[in-house]
Structure 1
Amino acid sequence: MSDALIAPIYADILAIKSRVVARVAAPSIVEPADGATGVGATPVLRGSAFRVSEGAIISDTHLSSRWQVRLASGSWSTVLHDSGETYASLTEYAIPSGVVRENEQYAARVQYRGANLGWSEWSDDVVFTTKSQFASIIGLVQVATGGGAGQYQRIDENFSPVSRDASWFNNHPVYAGIVAQVVDGQRMVKIPRFYYRADTVPSGVYAGKTYWMISDQPVAGFSVHPAFIGAGGAQLDQIWVGGYQASYDGSSKMQSVAGAMPMVSMDFPTARQRAYARNVGGVTGFREWSAYDLSVIQMLMSIEIGGLDVQALIGQGRVSQSSAAAVDAADVAQASWRGIVGLWGNVWQMVDGLKRNGGTWWRWQYNAPGSATPGDFTTGYINTGVPALSTSGYPVTFDATMLATAGLFVPATVDGTASNGSTGDYFWSNTSTDDRVLYHGGNWGSGATAGLFCAGADYAPSDANSYIGARLAKA
Structure 2
Amino acid sequence: MSITGNIIYRRDSAGKVEAPDGALLMADGARAVDSGLTVDEIAGQSARIETLENTPYEIEIFAVVGTRTGSVAVPAGAVIAREQYSWGQDCIIVTVDAEGQPQAEAAENVAGDIVTGVLGADGSYTLSDDPAFYPVAVVYQIRTTGAFLNQVPLDAVLGLDPVRIVDTVDSDRPDLAASANSVRVAHAAAVTAQGDIDSHSGQGDDAHGGIVASTDPRLSNARTPTNHAASHAAGQGDAITPVAIGAAAAGHNHDAAYDTKGAAAGVQSNLTAHTEQTTAAHGGIVASNDPRLSNARNPTLHAASHGSGGGDPVTPAAIGAVANNDPRLSDARAPTVHSHIITDLPSILGKLGETADGRPLWNGMYWPTGRFNSSDPVNLVLANSEVSGGDWRYVDNGFNEIDPPSKEFFDNHPVWGQIEDVIIDEQHMVRIPNAFCAVQPVPTGLFAGKPVWRLSATEQLGLTRHSAFWWGGNPLNQFWFGKYAASLSGGKLQSLPGVMPAVSRTIVQFSADAEARNVGGVTGFMQNSYHQNSAIQFLYLLENATMDSQAKTGRGRVDTSSAALVDAPDVAQAAYRGIIGLWGNVWRWAVGMQIEAGRVWVWGSNQQLIDTGHTIPNLAAAWRYPKTFATGAGTGFDLGHGFLAAANQAALAGATCQDGHYFTTGTARVLLLGGPWAYGSLPGLWCALGSIDATYAHSLFGSRLAKV
Q: TM-score, normalised by structure 1?
A: 0.68
Distance in 1 between residues matched to 2:382 and 2:631, nearest whole Å: 12
- Residues 345 and 36 (structure 1), Cα distance of their counterparts in 2 relative to 1, 3 Å cut: farther
| Contact 1:275 1:286 (8 Å CA) reproduced | yes
SS class of match (1:419):
coil
Query: Match of 2:704?
Result: 471
Q: Between the two structures, name the one with larger relative contact order (CA 8 Å, sep ≥ 6).
A: 1
Q: Is 1:291 equivalent to 2:530 in the alignment?
A: yes
Letter paired with 1:144: N
Query: Match of 1:28?
Result: none
| Contact 1:140 1:212 (8 Å CA) reproduced | yes
Query: Match of 2:324?
Result: none
| Contact 1:394 1:420 (8 Å CA) reproduced | no
* CA displacement at 1:139 relative to structure 2: 2.3
Distance in 1 between residues matched to 2:648 and 2:359, nearest whole Å: 50
- Residues 438 and 168 (structure 1), Cα distance of their counterparts in 2 relative to 1, 3 Å cut: same
Query: Match of 1:309?
Result: 548
Q: Is 1:160 equivalent to 2:436 in the alignment?
A: no
Query: Match of 1:418?
Result: 652
Distance in 2 between residues matched to 1:194 and 1:430, nearest whole Å: 32
| Contact 2:630 2:640 (8 Å CA) reproduced | no
- Cα deviation digits, residues 387-430 of structure 1 (max 9, x gap): 13324411111112269545111111111111131111110111
Range with bigger deviation, 402-411 or 179-188:
402-411
* CA displacement at 1:453 relative to structure 2: 1.1
User: Structure 1 stretches (4+) deviating beyond 4 angstroms?
Assistant: 402-406
| Contact 2:625 2:660 (8 Å CA) reproduced | yes
SS class of match (1:447):
coil
Letter paired with 1:291: Y
Q: Is 1:219 equivalent to 2:465 in the alignment?
A: no
Query: Match of 1:320?
Result: 559
- Cα deviation digits, residues 410-464 of structure 1 (max 9, x gap): 11111111113111111011121x1111111111111111111111111111111
Query: Match of 2:444?
Result: 203
* CA displacement at 1:282 relative to structure 2: 0.8
* Higher strand residue share: 1
Q: Is 1:454 equivalent to 2:687 in the alignment?
A: yes
SS class of match (1:400):
coil
Letter paired with 2:498: G
Distance in 2 between residues matched to 1:146 and 1:451, nearest whole Å: 19
Q: Is 1:437 equivalent to 2:678 in the alignment?
A: no
Letter paired with 1:409: F
| Contact 1:198 1:404 (8 Å CA) reproduced | no
Query: Match of 2:610?
Result: 382
Query: Match of 2:171?
Result: none
Q: Is 1:37 equivalent to 2:357 in the alignment?
A: no
Distance in 2 between residues matched to 1:207 and 1:104, nearest whole Å: 28
| Contact 1:142 1:210 (8 Å CA) reproduced | yes
Instruction: From 381, 384, 399, give the equivalent of 2:630.
Output: 399
Q: TM-score, normalised by structure 2?
A: 0.46
Q: Is 1:356 equivalent to 2:595 in the alignment?
A: yes
Letter paired with 1:383: D
* CA displacement at 1:270 relative to structure 2: 0.5
SS class of match (2:479):
strand
Distance in 1 between residues matched to 2:638 and 2:453, nearest whole Å: 8
Distance in 2 between residues matched to 1:459 and 1:291, nearest whole Å: 15
| Contact 1:199 1:404 (8 Å CA) reproduced | no
- Residues 306 and 406 (structure 1), Cα distance of their counterparts in 2 relative to 1, 3 Å cut: closer
Query: Match of 1:182?
Result: 423
Instruction: From 314, 325, 331, give the equivalent of 2:570.
Output: 331
* CA displacement at 1:148 relative to structure 2: 2.6
Distance in 1 between residues matched to 2:409 and 2:702, nearest whole Å: 35
SS class of match (1:449):
coil
Q: Which runs of 5+ in 1 are unaligned?
A: 1-34, 39-101, 107-127, 371-379
| Contact 1:354 1:363 (8 Å CA) reproduced | yes
Distance in 1 between residues matched to 2:353 and 2:421, nearest whole Å: 37
Distance in 2 between residues matched to 1:36 and 1:467, nearest whole Å: 61
Equivalences for residues 222-237 of structure 1 within 5 A:
222-232=463-473, 234-237=474-477
| Contact 2:390 2:655 (8 Å CA) reproduced | yes
- Residues 445 and 400 (structure 1), Cα distance of their counterparts in 2 relative to 1, 3 Å cut: same
SS class of match (1:450):
coil
Distance in 1 between residues matched to 2:662 and 2:598, nearest whole Å: 14
Query: Match of 2:432?
Result: 191
Query: Match of 1:12?
Result: none
Instruction: From 364, 377, 385, give the equivalent of 1:145.
Output: 385
| Contact 2:374 2:414 (8 Å CA) reproduced | no
Distance in 1 between residues matched to 2:639 and 2:674, nearest whole Å: 23
- Residues 465 and 214 (structure 1), Cα distance of their counterparts in 2 relative to 1, 3 Å cut: same
Letter paired with 1:215: S
Percent of counterpart pairs with the same letter?
A: 37
| Contact 1:335 1:345 (8 Å CA) reproduced | yes
Distance in 2 between residues matched to 1:268 and 1:454, nearest whole Å: 18
| Contact 1:136 1:172 (8 Å CA) reproduced | no
- Cα deviation digits, residues 120-145 of structure 1 (max 9, x gap): xxxxxxxx99xxx9723212211111
Letter paired with 2:528: W
| Contact 1:134 1:217 (8 Å CA) reproduced | no
Query: Match of 1:247?
Result: 487
Query: Match of 1:15?
Result: none
- Cα deviation digits, residues 38-73 of structure 1 (max 9, x gap): 5xxxxxxxxxxxxxxxxxxxxxxxxxxxxxxxxxxx
Distance in 2 between residues matched to 1:364 and 1:285, nearest whole Å: 17
Range with bigger deviation, 329-338 or 353-362:
353-362
Measured on the aligned residues, the alpha-carbon RMSD in Å equals: 2.2
Distance in 1 between residues matched to 2:418 and 2:628, nearest whole Å: 30
SS class of match (1:445):
coil
Letter paired with 2:670: V
| Contact 1:439 1:457 (8 Å CA) reproduced | yes
Distance in 1 between residues matched to 2:395 and 2:568, nearest whole Å: 35
Letter paired with 1:397: T
* CA displacement at 1:471 relative to structure 2: 0.8
Distance in 2 between residues matched to 1:435 and 1:415, nearest whole Å: 24
| Contact 2:376 2:397 (8 Å CA) reproduced | no
Distance in 1 between residues matched to 2:484 and 2:353, nearest whole Å: 45
Query: Match of 2:579?
Result: 340
**Aligned pairs, how many?**
341
* CA displacement at 1:104 relative to structure 2: 5.6
Distance in 1 between residues matched to 2:639 and 2:626, nearest whole Å: 20
Letter paired with 1:431: T
Distance in 2 between residues matched to 1:427 and 1:157, nearest whole Å: 33
